[in-house]
Amino acid sequence: MRKKIVAGNWKMNTTLQEGIKLASEVESLSTQVPSDVTLIVCVPFTHLTEVKKVINRTLLGAENCASEVSGAYTGEVSAAMVASTGANYVIIGHSERRSYFNETDETLAKKVKLALANQLTPIFCIGELLSEREANIHFDVVKKQLQKGLFDLSAEDFGKIVIAYEPVWAIGTGRTATSEQAQEMHYFIRNTIAEKYGKEVAKEISILYGGSCNDKNAAELFANPDVDGGLIGGASLKAESFIAIARSF
């Protein structure tokens, strides 16, 4: 049975003190979340070590990692460094990293391999721009992101990945994909994986939806057969709304 997952992406929000408070609140409310739901907070690098100290039921992730192993890359944080904080997850290929920091499919493929080599589970983000959906090429775009970012992996390694489908036009805009649009794309993603790695592998991969998911729309989105949870931005910055989302299955 594939995992149900709700992961928060705090982005560049909260000071360290605010982050510790938020994580503590999430942890204390996490008792309300069914035990078959994996609850993750992905936090800024500066917060990882301290947040780790106040969580237990909640798991820890970073929002990014470097595409190189170590060395003269000033300001970068390696996958090994992230893993050494006790984090288990790392978001890779968020659309904000792809667009504002020019991260290419090739760079992201390197990050995925380094994350896996350091026992981190990549939460790999894919999703089309509004112009691409309007041009009706959204399936091609998502397929290409999967192929270039992940399809170089062995079936064993691919089985360790979590995918987040995040239509860029829905991220932080308040415009959520409809339940039908989400299911249609998640089904397509699972099928594309099945064509490459076989049905058994595809069946076990958790595919999360991201993009203005909140405590009002989560239940309808998560009720779809191929939607295994959510990657949550804005609504993960309030413990109550984040936990309400995690209770929506």
Contact pick of 212, 227, 243, 245 for ligand PEP (by CB under 6 A): 212
123 binds ligand PEP (CB under 6 A): no
9 binds ligand PEP (CB under 6 A): yes
Provide the minimum distance between the beta carbon of 159 and ligand PEP in the complex, in angstroms, as a whole number: 23
Judged by CB under 6 A, the stretch of 133-141, 183-191, 193-201, 207-215 that binds ligand PEP is 207-215
Judged by CB under 6 A, the stretch of 135-143, 181-189, 191-199, 208-216 that binds ligand PEP is 208-216
- Each residue 219-248 as x (binds ligand PEP by CB under 6 A) or -, in order, gives ------------xxxxx-------------
- Each residue 144-183 as x (binds ligand PEP by CB under 6 A) or -, in order, gives ----------------------x----xx-----------
What are the DSSP calls for the chain, one per residue? -PPEEEEEE--S---HHHHHHHHHHHHHHGGGS-TTEEEEEEE-GGGHHHHHHH-SSSEEEES---SSSSSS-TT---HHHHHTTT--EEEE--HHHHHHS---HHHHHHHHHHHHHTTPEEEEEE---HHHHHTT-HHHHHHHHHHHHHTTS-HHHHTT-EEEE--GGGTTTS-PPPHHHHHHHHHHHHHHHHHHH-HHHHHH--EEEESS--TTTHHHHHTSTT--EEEESGGGSSHHHHHHHHT--
Give me the residues that bind ligand PEP (CB under 6 A), please. 9, 166, 171-172, 210-213, 231-235
